[in-house]
Amino acid sequence: MSDRKQQIARHFGAAAPTYDHAARIQARIAEQFAGEIAALTQPARILEFGCGTGNLTLALTSRFPNAHLIATDLTPPMTALCRKRLGTSPRLSYAAMDAELPASAPAQFDLVGGSLAAQWFAKPAHAFAALGTLLRPGGVLALTTLGSDTFQEWRAAAAMLGLDAAIPAYPSLAELDWQRPRGFLVETAHEQRLWDEHPSALDFLQSLRRIGADLPADDARPLSPGALRRILRQVDAKGHVNATYHVLTVLWRKS
C-alpha cells in the first residue's frame, strides 16, 4: 500500500467513531443515490466499495433485500462499524479491499458502486476500468464523487489572500466522463450542489476531521498555522459558513 493510501486509511480509521454524527451530507447523498440505482437496475449480486459506516449499504439492502451484497472498505475500522450497524446474513458480507486493486474474479456482479469514495483514488480511470472488469455484461458501475466546485468558499478565501487552499483538484462532470471505462455506456450523469452550514470556519474544518476527510491534496504543502488562521478569518468575515458539496453522480452500463 502506498504512503498516501496508508495516510487515507489512518485518517478514516481514526474518524470511524465520529463519522456518523458529522456525515449529514454523506448520508443524504447515499439515500438519494440508492434510489437512482433502484430506478435503473435490479441487481442480484452487488459489490460496494468505500462502504464506510454503511450509509449506502443500508440503503441498498433496503431496496434490494434479495440481493447478495459484499460491502468493502480500505479501512478495517469502517468496515467493522458497517458490520456492527447492519449485522451479518447469508446475503450480506464484508471485506477489507482497496478499490483501486479489487480482489475479485471478473464478471461476478450486476452492480459495483460506491458513494463519495472515488475522490480518494490516485488514478480514477484505472480504478474504474479495474472495477468494470468485475461486472457481468449489462452490469452497472455506479458512483458519486466530489466535483470541481466543492468547498469553493474555502478556495476563494485562500485565493484572495494569495494562498493555496491545499484542497484536492476534483473533476468536472465532463472530466469524469473522460474516465469512463471503454465499452461502458452512460445511463445517468448529473451534478448537484448541496450546502452544509456551519457556525464558523473552524467548525467546518473540525467536521472534516470528524469524518476523516481533512487530508490536503497529495502534492500540496501543508498550510502554516498563520496561513490557516488568515483563511479562517477570511471565511468567517462573511458572517456564516456554507460549505459547498459539488456532487457528481454517474451510472455506467457495461455493454
> What CATH number should be reported for the domain whose range is 3-147+170-193+246-254?
3.40.50.150
Whole-angstrom Cα distance, residue 118 to residue 116?
6
Q: How many CB atoms lie within 10 A of CB 17?
A: 12
Q: Domain extents for the chain?
A: 3-147+170-193+246-254
Q: Indicate the pTM of the whole model.
A: 0.95
Residuewise pLDDT in 10s, the chain (255 residues): 788 889 899 989 999 999 998 999 999 999 999 999 999 999 999 999 999 999 999 999 999 999 999 999 999 999 999 999 999 899 999 999 999 999 888 999 999 999 999 999 999 999 999 999 999 999 999 999 999 999 999 999 999 999 988 889 999 999 999 999 999 999 999 999 999 999 999 999 999 999 999 888 777 777 888 988 999 899 888 777 889 999 999 999 999
Contact 116, 94 (CB under 8 A): no
Distances (CA, A) of 116 to 86, 126, 134, 146: 20, 17, 20, 7
